[in-house]
Chain A
Amino acid sequence: MLKIKDLHASVEGKEILKGINLEVNPGEVHAIMGPNGSGKSTLAEVIAGKEEFDVTKGSIELNGEDLEDTAPEERAHKGIFLSFQYPVEIPGVSVTNFMKTAINESRKARGMEDMPANEMLKMIREKSELLDIDRKFLSRSLNEGFSGGEKKRNEIFQMAMMEPKLAILDETDSGLDIDALRIVANGVNKLRSGDRATIVITHYQRLLEYIVPDFVHVLHDGKIVKSGGKELALELEEKGYDWLKHEAAV
């Protein structure tokens, strides 16, 4: 589904990603771990098409299609979803209205009619129940005054609504207490399916106890320095990242 080949990306002339290779197939969950500043969030944002970054070399393919020069909204239409580490507050636009706009714009791009109102409401009800979201919450302004946990839960709610092919969760566990973490992880797990792939970006192993990955990759200084199964996460938890840095240097 996702094929990243020798990806180099820089911002304002500074190279952050220095040759990433990654292949993600339908149904798989990949975890990307690494110390701060290793390029984890950059990788997520480059996949989602943030224009601030220049892809200087290499390619990203989604289902065989090169995503070069594809705008973030077009990538969303093709099924990429990024759950933000720091979701943005949009005063005056309710969660519900925001979702209606997002879904109908995506449908429009696929040549479909707007989703009928009753269908939309039904979907909103189902997905909000999935994440244990209060109905009142949906009429609040998007992310405005939300707690850290509410913001993250809202991101996963949006993901559930958008039904992406490839979901990228950027530090979804940061700022969550254990209860919120469980609800969010539970939501993500319920959305796991054979045709949907997930990339979980995290600094800590904690989230991976709840969202169990098929593969773990360690990112260091813009490169994947080690890949393995879920047991790699535990190893990292035990030993920290330093031993990998040495390994990478050798």
Chain B
Amino acid sequence: MKKEMDLKDKLISSFMAFENNVDIEHPVHDVRTEAMKNFEMKGFPSKKEEAWKYTSLKGLEKIDFSIFPKEENALEYRDVKRYFLHEIDTYKIVFIDGIYSSYLSETTHDGVDICLMSSALTKPMYKPVIDVYFNKVASSDESLTSLNTAFSREGAYIYIPKNKIPKKPIEIIHFATGNEASLLLQPRNLIIAEENAELQVIERHQSLTSNDVLSNSVTEIFAAENAIVDYYKIQNDNSKASLIDNTYIDQKSRSVVKIHTFSFGGKLIRNNLNFYQNGERIDSTMKGVTILGEKQHVDHHTLVHHKQPNCESHQDYKGIYGENSTGVFNGKIIVDKIAQKTDAFQQNNNILISDKATINSKPQLEIFADDVKCSHGCTIGQLDEEALFYLQSRGIPKREARALLMYAFANNVLESVRIPELKTRINKLIAKKLGVNLGFNL
């Protein structure tokens, strides 16, 4: 019997087919080829690597993923409306099975570019920007990032010039329809905020099928001096959809970048969130709410590299783990010798609501400067019995009281969400995920 080709071999052999469909004369293709070599050498990460100790990709590697969708698929807006933040007006960059949907999207070139990576990677007018930014902060140490780079062709491209602020938030949504038996998607996003620019992005991956979907996504974000970037990741996919999110952020002086990650669903999620501070008085903020059940698995790996003095970083991750779910939080902070007066804060609090749920939480501090403030804390506990009694004594039944406490536990992460409609939406998702009607409108 013929041995089935494993996913790595399949990807390597598909690269040639991929080359038939892209401009191999473009300098970007040299980057792709280099990345392919890197992936060939390293392959998929295994549990032997410290950074992947608690997350196994073995199960996913066994799936016979389609690497290119065969045909364009259409979706009706009314069928997918609920996945959009439809309460407010937004720019939308929407993909269906990895292919851009102009019908569902609303892009713009009015003073800012909110459009497609495929255009940016091929049209001469974008070449100067691509030359400067493309694959410049993404790490070649991560084989999955290399894999994405090798196949990079489509995704969101956002360029906000100096002093500009787009009129409305930007939604990036990737739908998977399931017309393929199992689908591998590799979106590649590039987001650039020039000096004093400001933007808000909401990113979502949504499978509409019971077939397997794996997204290996790479997002590069560049925040120039004084730029402000608010980025919200909504991870509420179905139980057959997995996501590997690799996000790399390059910050210049006095820029503020805040990434919120809401992980409520999906089969396996790995978030690699990497901040590099290349300037002074930078603020890097990472916040997360994770609420899992069933056999869901979420692994948050964060990195903040303090490379210059007088910068701050804040990390606040809250997790609620039920049933057989598993969670990982690994927060790495590197403070270079030169990075004096760094203020780095990290907090990871978890509640286990089932005997079978697991959380592995690990701070990793590498501090080479001597005048810094670094604090980290991690808690793993159950719900506070005294608080539960307090609520029950006010007539609130135990089930609702538990949910109210979990809601309260997760809620303070939402304080920094700056889009009110999004905050309401997330609040509702939390309430729904906790299976409770809180008796008041959130």
Contacts and interface: CB of A to CB of B under 8 A. Distances in A.
A105 B396 contact: yes
B396 A88 contact: no
Contacts of B414: 92
B398 A71 contact: yes
Contacts of A158: 394
A147 to B, nearest CB: 18
Interface string A60-103: 00000000000111011100111010111011110001101111
B407 A100 contact: no
Given A72-B389, A88-B384, A162 B405 contact: no
Interface in B401-416: 401, 404-405, 407-408, 410-412, 414
Interface in B170-197: none
Interface of B: 384-387, 389-398, 400-401, 404-405, 407-408, 410-412, 414, 438-440
A interface: dominant SS: helix
Contact of B393 (A82, A97, A103, A109): A82
A52 interface: yes
Given A101-B396, A101-B400, A106-B395, A88 B411 contact: no
Given A93-B411, A98-B394, A104-B439, 11 more contacts: A45-B389, A49-B392, A72-B392, A86-B386, A93-B407, A100-B440, A101-B438, A101-B440, A103-B395, A106-B395, A109-B395
Contacts of B392: 49, 71-73, 76
Nearest to A99: B394
B396 A73 contact: yes
A76 B395 contact: yes
Given A72-B389, A101-B438, A77 B408 contact: no
Given A88-B387, A100-B440, A48 B393 contact: yes
Contacts of A162: 394-395
A214 interface: no
B396 A102 contact: yes
Which of A45, A49, A72, A102 has the largest count of B CB atoms less than 10 A from its CB? A72
B395 A77 contact: yes
A23 interface: no
Contacts of B389: 45, 48, 50-52, 72
B75 to A, nearest CB: 35
A90 B387 contact: yes
Contacts of B394: 73, 76, 98, 102, 158, 162
Contact of B385 (A52, A93, A102, A105): A52
Nearest to B407: A92
A119 to B, nearest CB: 15
B411 A92 contact: yes
Closest 6 pairs (CB-CB, A-B): A92-B411, A76-B395, A72-B392, A106-B395, A101-B439, A102-B394
A80 B398 CA distance: 17
A87 B391 CA distance: 10
Contacts of A75: 393
Interface in A21-73: 45, 48-52, 71-73
A71 B391 CA distance: 12
Nearest to B385: A52
A75 B397 CA distance: 11
Nearest to B387: A88
A162 B391 CA distance: 13
B192 to A, nearest CB: 35
Contacts of A93: 404, 407-408, 411
Nearest to B437: A101
